[in-house]
Amino acid sequence: MVMFPSKNGIKILILTSFFAILTYIGALIQVPMYPAPISLQTLFVMFAGLLLGSKYGVLSQLLYIFLGLLGLPIFTGGGGIGYVLTPTFGFIIGFLPLAYFSGFAKGNNFKVISMLLLGNLILYCIGITYLWFILNKIAGNDLSLITLLKGMTIYLPGDLLKIFITIPIALKIRKRLNI
Ligand SMILES: O=C(O)CCCC[C@@H]1SC[C@@H]2NC(=O)N[C@@H]21
pLDDT given at position 6: 83
- The CATH code of the domain that includes 104 is 1.10.1760.20
Determine, yes or no, domain membership for 74.
Answer: yes
Whole-number average pLDDT of the chain: 95
Determine, yes or no, domain membership for 127.
Answer: yes
Residue 8: pLDDT band with limits 50, 70, 90: confident
Determine, yes or no, domain membership for 2.
Answer: no
Range ranked top by mean pLDDT from 6-20, 36-50, 139-153: 36-50
pLDDT digits (tens, 9 = 90+) for 84-117: 999 999 999 999 999 999 999 998 999 999 999 9
Q: Is 88 in the pocket of ligand 1 (CB under 6 A)?
A: yes
Q: Which domain holds residue 100?
A: 7-168
Q: ∠ CA 79-30-164 to the nearest 5 degrees?
A: 120
| pTM over the 0.90 mark | yes
Nearest CA to ligand 1 atom 6: 91
Q: How far is the CA of 139 from the centre of ligand 1 (A)?
A: 19
Q: What is the mean pLDDT of residues 24-40?
A: 97
Nearest to 64 by CA among 105, 36, 28, 31: 28
Ligand 1 atom with least separation from CA of 33: 15
Determine, yes or no, domain membership for 161.
Answer: yes
> Per the structure, how many domains does the chain have?
1
Ligand 1 atom with least separation from CA of 94: 9
Q: How far apart are CA 122 and CA 115, in angstroms?
A: 11
Helix intervals (H) in the chain: 7-28, 41-70, 89-102, 109-133, 145-152, 156-177
Peptide bond into 87 cis (omega under 30): no
Determine, yes or no, domain membership for 111.
Answer: yes
Determine, yes or no, domain membership for 101.
Answer: yes
> Among 31, 74, 91, 130, which residue has the most ligand 1 atoms within 8 Å of its CB, making it the best to mutate?
91
Q: Is 35 in the pocket of ligand 1 (CB under 6 A)?
A: no
Q: ∠ CA 36-38-40 to the nearest 5 degrees?
A: 125
Determine, yes or no, domain membership for 173.
Answer: no
- State the Cα torsion 119-125-128-131 to the nearest 10°: -90
Q: Is 75 in the pocket of ligand 1 (CB under 6 A)?
A: yes
Q: Is 77 in the pocket of ligand 1 (CB under 6 A)?
A: yes
Residues 6+ apart with CB under 8 A from 8: none
Are 144 and 119 in contact, with CB atoms under 8 Å apart? no
Is residue 2 predicted with pLDDT exceeding 70?
no
Ligand 1 atom with least separation from CA of 155: 12
Q: How far is the CA of 10 from the centre of ligand 1 (A)?
A: 30
Determine, yes or no, domain membership for 120.
Answer: yes
